[in-house]
Chain A
Amino acid sequence: MRELLMILRKEFIHIWRDRITLLLVLALPIVLVLFFGFTISTEIKNAKISVLDLSNDSKSKILLNKIAASNYFQIVSYPNSESEIDFDFKNKNIKLAIIIPSNFENKLEVEKKATIQVISDVSDINVASVLNSYFRVIINDFLNENYVTNSEAATFEVITQMLYNPEMKSVYMFVPGIIALIMIIVTALMTSITLAREKETGSMRMLLITPVKKVYIIIGKIIPYMLLSFICTLLIIIISVWVFNMPVEGNLAFLLFLCFVFMLTSASFGMIISALVRTQLDAMMVTMMGLFLPTVLLSGFLFPLDNMPQLFQALAHFFPAKWFIIAIKDVMIKGSGFMEIWKYLLILFIMACILITISLIRIDKKE
């Protein structure tokens, strides 16, 4: 046991004396969260639209005011005919055109049914669908405010995607992804690089030649970086709650437990990578290509998995990030507990067990 404590102490000295790396590791989550939070965002503000108001009555005015008052749209023109709408799309770079039918008020109040025509520029499908959703929200608000009792007049239904994120705030989507990325970088990358460094400089041979247990060497490598990664995770959660009002619906302790399991899986990936390579550079390349990139591309964090070819969807099963992101989203946003996500925990745990076992066998393998 004294040996394990000594290995841990040595590892912490490595971390502490390499100030630049330590600073980078701690700054990375902060920078990433702030960067994603403020810049890369699927929220669209002040999209240009045209409105062809054929009724021009009091209710249509209310609706238009509501649209103009929202942050999402900016009415740039009031064309007089449908052909002018076409012109706007081509020349005024509008994303959306709305045609309010004639006798709007009358239709709503007497016929209980009015049809508003929405024409979208679908050249960017994501933008179009987001704008459509915004518009539906505004219409619903409008109906609710003006015809509380006449709910049957609702022309649109609230769609299910927006159940947990009614304003489609993107911060909720990327925080789990960033937590996954940071944990991969800190645990998998750092573990594999530092292990490969010990191989490169020969100190691993010195360690192996001592009677110390192999398990100690591995645990001694994993724990410090898991701890570091844990600090990073806490930083991410604090910033996202504090700056971006990210909800943490589930139990915080359970959330951290989930992170812990994922860290173990990441670290075991780092171990196995360092067992396969000889140099630090190789360790870095393999971790980046083999683990970091799939985490970005195949975890459903930036690119929805449902839209991918079958092959990629199947491939995604083998990377821990996919399971972790599903689980952490459920815990953070839906407030799920152990009963709902035990399956994902189990998958992550089994991955870790298999990889650590292989590493233990590989670490002392002789040529």
Chain B
Amino acid sequence: MKAIEIENLNKIYNNRVQALSDVSFYVSEGEVFGLVGPDGGGKSTIFNILATLLLPTSGQASVLSRDVVNDAKIIRQLIGYLPGVFSLYPDLTVEENLIFFATMYKSRIKDNLPLIRPIWKQLVPFKDRRAGKLSGGMKQKLALCCALIHKPALLLLDEPTTGVDPVSRAEFWDILTNIQKQGITVLVSTPYMDEATRCDRIALIQEGKIIKIDTPTNIMEAYRGFLYTIKVENVFSVMEKLKEFDFPCNYYPYGQELHIAFYEAPEIVLQKFCSFLREQNIKFEELSPIQPTIEDCFIELVKLK
């Protein structure tokens, strides 16, 4: 069974701004599915439609086999939703917030405590602190508790890790893996490409269009370029000189290194490249192939369009 099915979804705001164009994808039950792409790409619009807070302009969307337009009331009881911005009550304490949302779902904290226990344990020392005074990572954990307190079948997480430091982010993803083990389907969005590898499948999305759907491994394997790293003394001056190198390639600075992607048989281009560097009198060491990241794939896919 599919937890989410979306077909040819379009959303146009005020008859002007096309936020989504012909978006189609499905999420299987028990999957962690990631919507990966920059801000303004339409991720939040998809979440709002699935959470029955927004009507699609055209197309079909169903959540747990129920239509988002006609069965909004039923859907709302079955999903947990974490919006992109902190939306709990900042002047209520941690515990008060949790009790409040539990009551709204007609459930009690103790009924679903096992589900949230690993997260709640970390929050207990702060339970009397006002939610507004928590750190970014803690706020997200509290919001997650509130979204899980009625044991939803599907969890919608809209950019849960934006602005959160890398350590808390890694921790948050561990928690998601745990939630998945409890049989809850997760749809999560993120602008951090490196987080994509934590999902079972991802959809790369930009400007309201889905440009690729697959497992992270498949996406990285489908990378068509050849990526190399090269260590040079002055990255910037080398980049200036590379403008004259006339084989198709993409390069960007990576600290004291330069990453460069070639799109043709590497043996020939590499030779040309090395002789070009020598001609230009550029000293270098360590010219070696590297694995592409999801970000490299994203850039390639966008540029190929």
CB-contact partner of B101 in A202, A210, A367, under 8 A? A210
Inter-chain contact B91/A3, CB cutoff 8 Å: no
* A90 located at the interface, meaning its Cβ lies under 8 Å from any Cβ of chain B in the complex: no
Q: Give the docked Cα–Cα distance between A205 and B156 (Å).
A: 14
Q: Give the docked Cα–Cα distance between A3 and B106 (Å).
A: 7
Q: Say whether, besides A3-B106, A210-B105, A18 and B91 are in contact (CB < 8 Å).
A: yes
| Chain B 253-274 interface residues, beta-carbon cutoff 8 Å to A | none
Q: Say whether, besides A3-B104, A18-B91, A209 and B85 are in contact (CB < 8 Å).
A: no
Q: Give the docked Cα–Cα distance between A208 and B87 (Å).
A: 12
Inter-chain contact A14/B104, CB cutoff 8 Å: no
Q: Give the docked Cα–Cα distance between A10 and B131 (Å).
A: 13
Report B-chain residues with C-beta under 8 Å of the C-beta of A367.
13, 54-55
* B292 located at the interface, meaning its Cβ lies under 8 Å from any Cβ of chain A in the complex: no
Report A-chain residues with C-beta under 8 Å of the C-beta of B88.
203, 206
Cβ contacts B80-100/A at 8 Å (1 or 0 each): 010101111111100010011
Inter-chain contact B76/A211, CB cutoff 8 Å: yes
Could you pull out 19 A-B pairs where Cβ atoms are within 8 angstroms? A3-B104, A6-B99, A6-B103, A10-B92, A10-B100, A13-B91, A14-B92, A17-B130, A202-B86, A203-B89, A206-B81, A206-B87, A206-B101, A208-B53, A209-B79, A211-B76, A211-B106, A366-B52, A366-B53
| Chain A 1-35 interface residues, beta-carbon cutoff 8 Å to B | 2-3, 6, 10, 13-14, 17-18
* A126 located at the interface, meaning its Cβ lies under 8 Å from any Cβ of chain B in the complex: no
Inter-chain contact B96/A13, CB cutoff 8 Å: yes
A1 CB, nearest partner CB in chain B, Å: 11
Inter-chain contact A14/B81, CB cutoff 8 Å: no
Closest B residue to A6 by CB, please name it: B103
Q: Give the docked Cα–Cα distance between A82 and B146 (Å).
A: 87
* A212 located at the interface, meaning its Cβ lies under 8 Å from any Cβ of chain B in the complex: yes
Count how many chain A residues have C-beta atoms less than 8 Å from C-beta atoms of the other chain: 21
* A358 located at the interface, meaning its Cβ lies under 8 Å from any Cβ of chain B in the complex: no
Inter-chain contact B53/A10, CB cutoff 8 Å: no
* B77 located at the interface, meaning its Cβ lies under 8 Å from any Cβ of chain A in the complex: yes
* B73 located at the interface, meaning its Cβ lies under 8 Å from any Cβ of chain A in the complex: yes
Q: Give the docked Cα–Cα distance between A284 and B99 (Å).
A: 31
Inter-chain contact B81/A209, CB cutoff 8 Å: yes
* A201 located at the interface, meaning its Cβ lies under 8 Å from any Cβ of chain B in the complex: yes
Interface residues of A (CB under 8 A from B): 2-3, 6, 10, 13-14, 17-18, 201-203, 205-212, 366-367
Inter-chain contact B76/A209, CB cutoff 8 Å: yes
Q: Give the docked Cα–Cα distance between A367 and B87 (Å).
A: 20
Report A-chain residues with C-beta under 8 Å of the C-beta of B130.
17
Q: Give the docked Cα–Cα distance between A319 and B55 (Å).
A: 35
Report A-chain residues with C-beta under 8 Å of the C-beta of B13.
367
Q: Say whether, besides A2-B103, A3-B106, A367-B55, A206 and B92 are in contact (CB < 8 Å).
A: no
* B51 located at the interface, meaning its Cβ lies under 8 Å from any Cβ of chain A in the complex: yes
Report A-chain residues with C-beta under 8 Å of the C-beta of B53.
205, 208-209, 366
Closest A residue to B99 by CB, please name it: A6
CB-contact partner of A209 in B51, B55, B91, B99, under 8 A? B51
A342 CB, nearest partner CB in chain B, Å: 40
Report B-chain residues with C-beta under 8 Å of the C-beta of A366.
52-55
Q: Say whether, besides A10-B92, A202-B83, A209 and B52 are in contact (CB < 8 Å).
A: yes
B173 CB, nearest partner CB in chain A, Å: 23
Inter-chain contact B103/A206, CB cutoff 8 Å: no
Inter-chain contact B90/A201, CB cutoff 8 Å: yes
Inter-chain contact A207/B104, CB cutoff 8 Å: yes
Inter-chain contact B87/A201, CB cutoff 8 Å: yes
Interface centre among A201, A205, A206, A209 (most CB of B within 10 A): A209
5 pairs of A and B residues whose beta carbons are closest in the complex: A202-B87, A210-B104, A6-B103, A366-B55, A212-B104
Report A-chain residues with C-beta under 8 Å of the C-beta of B76.
209-211
Q: Say whether, besides A205-B53, A366-B55, A367-B13, A211 and B91 are in contact (CB < 8 Å).
A: no
Inter-chain contact A3/B103, CB cutoff 8 Å: yes
Inter-chain contact B104/A6, CB cutoff 8 Å: yes
Report A-chain residues with C-beta under 8 Å of the C-beta of B77.
211
- Supply 14 further A-B pairs (C-beta < 8 A) apart from A13-B91, A201-B90, A211-B104: A6-B100, A6-B103, A13-B96, A17-B91, A201-B87, A202-B86, A203-B89, A205-B51, A205-B53, A209-B51, A210-B101, A211-B105, A367-B54, A367-B55
| Chain B 51-73 interface residues, beta-carbon cutoff 8 Å to A | 51-55, 73
CB-contact partner of B83 in A2, A10, A206, under 8 A? A206
Inter-chain contact B73/A13, CB cutoff 8 Å: no
Interface centre among B54, B73, B99, B100 (most CB of A within 10 A): B100
B13 CB, nearest partner CB in chain A, Å: 7
Closest A residue to B104 by CB, please name it: A210
Closest B residue to A2 by CB, please name it: B103
Report A-chain residues with C-beta under 8 Å of the C-beta of B92.
10, 13-14
